[in-house]
Structure 1
Amino acid sequence: MKHLATLLLVAVYCSCVPAQSSDGFVLESQEDGVKIYVREEANGDLSVKAVTRARAQVQGVRQVLDDAPNYPEWVHRCDGAYIVDGGDLDDYVFVSGIDMPFPFRDKEVVARVEQGTDRSGILTRTITASPAAIPATKGRDRQEVYSGEWVITPLADGKVEIQCTVRTDAGAGLPAWLRKEIITGGPVKTIANLRRRLETVASS
């Protein structure tokens, strides 16, 4: 009887502890077809991984991701974006503005994208902060810490798996409610919007 009680306690404990993957990510939420995982990093940074599936082709996903001027239509809180002159299709710098609620200053990401597709058709986009690539923008705080990776994997059923991982300190100094809205709520909305955008194009 004593052993049975111990087993029940262990079972209850395990059911309450968030599942952690081998890379340290913990499932934070599952909403609107998007799974969000988080991992605490050094210096108060946070890594967020968003995963979903969409009826689309890898090339179609790439076209949307490379279309920076239209980011405000689907990227949460983006109020403008563009690609900096001088790059090429597989290696370029982009700028993306982040609209913050009053009284907080708006933010800005300037980052380099390097991308390519392997023999199996998987598209990988590596994103690295490049805050010194262009002069500062008045009235905005430029993100010094920002890195990420998109992995778009073709599936056998005409769909793709979309996995986006971002490490940032965007929530530093913000109240808990806003930090959560930007760091974890934002990716849900962004990735869900991307999926709907892709599937609308695929069905048209």
Structure 2
Amino acid sequence: MNVLRQVAAVCGLSVLLGAAAHAEDWQLAKDEDGIKVYLSSVSGSKYKAYRGVVEIKADVQTLNALQEDVPGSCRWIHACAEMKLLKRQGNEAWTYSKIDMPWPVTGRDLVLHVKGEQTADGTIVRQLQAEPTFIPAVKDEIRVPKLVGEWRMVPKGQGVTEVTYQVRTEPGGSIPSWLANSFVVDAPFNTLDALRKRAEKR
């Protein structure tokens, strides 16, 4: 479908299907302003998976339009410095994004392969997977080697949509523990908060 041919990528660094097989024991890490963030340890990884859930007073089509504006989505995705669409093919898309990191941590970049689908009840699902070799390496950036994630937008009636944003990632290189621990909470919370503000203004 045309509405699924473009996509918003994850933040800077966001699998109900992919991570669910590897993440267990989701624990509520933040519950504020209607947004809930859950974290889960991932077997064999020092980085936790994250899941953010919020209800937004906007319909699925409004949220989908915001996500289809790939360059524009960088304004509401946490830590996004740049985002662009590389390729579209049917309901699949490939996006490139640069992720801001605080000094002295080296910036990351990310190539995502996104597959979209719309279910019979109007739910839109976008499955995300890193494809680090899709384009050549970029100077002064560390390419994120692994990421699986999912956006799920479920209509709840009366113009309300439940949005879930979930990610499991290996960011590559060295990340200080304080940054890793804050990112997994800030990324889903700030992304969903900014998306909600933009959607509810429309």
Give 2:185's aligned residue: 184
Give 1:93's aligned residue: 94
Paired amino acid for 2:63: V
Give 1:61's aligned residue: 63
In 2, Cα distance between the equivalents of 1:114 and 1:107? 22
Give 1:148's aligned residue: 149
In structure 1, runs of 5+ residues without a counterpart are 1-21
Give 1:14's aligned residue: none
CA contact 1:171–1:182 (8 Å) conserved in 2 = no
CA contact 2:125–2:150 (8 Å) conserved in 1 = yes
CA contact 2:129–2:149 (8 Å) conserved in 1 = yes
Give 1:12's aligned residue: none
Q: Deviations over 1:87-109 (max 9, x none)?
A: 23520100111011111100011
In 2, Cα distance between the equivalents of 1:74 and 1:134? 25
Give 2:50's aligned residue: 48
CA RMSD of aligned residues (A): 1.7
Normalization by structure 1: what TM-score?
0.82
CA contact 1:71–1:80 (8 Å) conserved in 2 = no
In 2, Cα distance between the equivalents of 1:40 and 1:171? 18
Q: Deviations over 1:71-97 (max 9, x none)?
A: 331111100000103x23520100111
In 1, Cα distance between the equivalents of 2:68 and 2:44? 31
Paired amino acid for 2:177: A
CA contact 1:72–1:78 (8 Å) conserved in 2 = yes
Paired amino acid for 2:26: F
Paired amino acid for 2:115: E
Q: 1:183 to 1:93 in 2, by over 3 A?
A: same
Normalization by structure 2: what TM-score?
0.83
Give the match's secondary structure for 1:187: helix
Structure richer in helix, relative to its length: 1
Give 1:3's aligned residue: none
Give 1:5's aligned residue: none
Identity across aligned pairs (percent)? 28
Give 2:40's aligned residue: 39
Give 2:82's aligned residue: 80
Give the match's secondary structure for 2:157: coil
Give 2:117's aligned residue: 116
In 2, Cα distance between the equivalents of 1:54 and 1:112? 26
CA contact 2:142–2:172 (8 Å) conserved in 1 = no
Paired amino acid for 1:81: M
Give 2:127's aligned residue: 126
Q: Deviations over 1:1-32 (max 9, x none)?
A: xxxxxxxxxxxxxxxxxxxxx95211111123
In 2, Cα distance between the equivalents of 1:136 and 1:163? 31
In 1, Cα distance between the equivalents of 2:42 and 2:72? 31
CA drift at 1:171 = 8.3
Paired amino acid for 1:47: A
Higher RCO (C-alpha under 8 Å, 6+ residues apart)? 2
Give 1:158's aligned residue: 159
Q: 1:71 to 1:155 in 2, by over 3 A?
A: same
